[in-house]
Amino acid sequence: MNASAALWLTIIALGVYHGLNPAMGWPIAVANGMAARRPGAVFTTLLPLGGGHFAAMAVVLLPFAALGWYMEWSRAIRLGSGALVLLFGIFKLARRRHPRALARVRPTQLAWWSFLMATAHGAGLMLVPFMLDLCATAPASVDAGPAATSRDAGHATLMNFLAQSNVATATAVAAVHTLAMLLAGLGMAWAVYRYLGLRFLRRAWLNLDMVWGASLVIAGAAGIAMAW
């Protein structure tokens, strides 16, 4: 397995993990189905939950993709982003309380809630080191053709190509991750709604705060390690 494939699998695995995390919204899908008393209501949360999560990923990843234009700073950026994720993970381990304002949400606010929860948990930040490593493995040269009359023109062409490549990579990372998150989260919501019921939530509620903080620390450390 090459490096790019391993990175994409990691991004998908993180999406599955985010989807299984109750904080990302699958209990709301269960509640929606039970309130409406119809199975289809579980899946009506797909668009707002997915849209909010995707926006939270994109708002973090796209600026870092833009920073990738400055190739001479790429190693420092990757080290810095890894350190930022690691420090945020330590903060989450030390302080695991959720903002009370996010505890109650109306259906019309679901996309905004999803965006805030993913941002508050550092979900997009966790993907930054892996996205930057994917950008670093993108093609590093292009044929400027006979029209290139100077080194500056060739450099400008290369920078434009890399900028477009990095933005496309960031968008793809956010989309693939969000799809994996939605499939895992809605799968969990459907299982609870259809088979396990509310008794499962009362008896087997999964508090993943400690695991979440530890995973941020691991992701940050992995980002730093990949940048060396």
Q: Residue ranges per domain, the chain?
A: 3-227
Rg (CA), the chain: 20
Q: What is the pLDDT of residue 110?
A: 81
Quote the CA–CA distance of 80 and 119 in Å, as a whole number: 18
Greatest alpha-carbon pair distance for the chain in Å reads 72
Residue 52 Cα distances to 19, 58, 92, 93, 156, angstroms: 13, 10, 21, 25, 35
44 burial level (CB within 10 Å; 0-12, 13-18, 19+): middle
**What residue spans of the chain are helical by DSSP H?**
3-20, 26-36, 40-43, 46-67, 74-94, 110-120, 123-136, 151-191, 197-204, 209-227
Residue linked to tokens 């600026």: 63
Q: Please, are residues 41 and 108 in contact by the beta-carbon 8 Å criterion?
A: no
Q: What is the pLDDT of residue 12?
A: 92
Q: Which residues contact 161 (CB under 8 A, 6 or more apart)?
A: 139, 142
Q: What angle do CA 74, 80, 96 make, to 5 degrees?
A: 145
Q: What is the pLDDT of residue 102?
A: 45
Q: Please, are residues 92 and 31 in contact by the beta-carbon 8 Å criterion?
A: no
Residue 74 Cα distances to 80, 131, 132, angstroms: 10, 12, 8
Token pair, residue 38, equals 């119809």
Q: What is the pLDDT of residue 22?
A: 82
Torsion, Cα of 163, 168, 174, 177 (10° steps): -130
Q: Which residues contact 23 (CB under 8 A, 6 or more apart)?
A: 98, 117, 121, 208, 212
Which is nearest to 23 in space by CA: 202, 204, 194, 209? Answer: 209
DSSP-derived letter for residue 53 is H
pLDDT averaged per 10 residues in sequence order, the chain, 228 residues: 82 89 84 86 88 91 69 68 80 66 60 82 79 65 47 49 66 91 91 78 59 76 74
